[in-house]
Amino acid sequence: EIKLHGDYSIVPFQYNPILKYINTFSFVYSIFYAIILIVACSTIANTMIMVVYERTKEIGMMKAMGLNNLSVAGLLTLEAGIIGFVGSFMGTVIGGILSYWLKYQGIDMSMMSSSTSADMPYGPIIYFSPTPMIIITGFLFGLLAAIIVALLPITRITKLEPAKALRTV
């Protein structure tokens, strides 16, 4: 740190407290993202389990009429893909609109911090910087997660014998 005239000083770009602050928040955000991912995957898995459970008789009928396991798995995977597509599309539209709004509006962090903005090397308002690539990646990740999570109930239902499936309630 180099002291200049008055209250001014020059600090290196990689000022240690700033990097520590950024690394801490990156870790906290990673935990937050992991929790969101677990909740989303659990919701998708629950939806697909309910779809398979409600249609067990119908799937048993299709298998009894000669539809092979691969075709049943394909139909259910297509259904999971459609559910994932609709959910990802809605999330992308809402998230994209919110992100672009926050790009210009920003989030005022001055209310959340007891320290003054002079302690931090940035202003009290944090602005988002969404890119089309981030938004497309979010969409594709949601779609892929829906299909992958749906594979467990799909695998289970394809192993079910048609006669047993037809006897279910």
Confidence of residue 5 (pLDDT cuts 50, 70, 90): confident
Backbone angles phi, psi at 16, to 5 degrees: -55, -50
Question: Kind and range of the H or E element at 9?
Answer: strand 9-10
Range of the domain at 142: 2-167
What amino acid occupies position 94?
A: I
Question: Kind and range of the H or E element at 108?
Answer: strand 107-108
Backbone angles phi, psi at 138, to 5 degrees: -60, -45
Tell me what percent of the residues of the chain surpass a pLDDT of 90. Answer: 26
Domain count, the chain: 1
Confidence of residue 123 (pLDDT cuts 50, 70, 90): low
Q: DSSP readout, 48-100? A: HHHHHHHTHHHHHHHHHTT--HHHHHHHHHHHHHHHHHHHHHHHHHHHHHHHH
Backbone angles phi, psi at 2, to 5 degrees: -115, 125
pTM beyond 0.75, yes or no: no
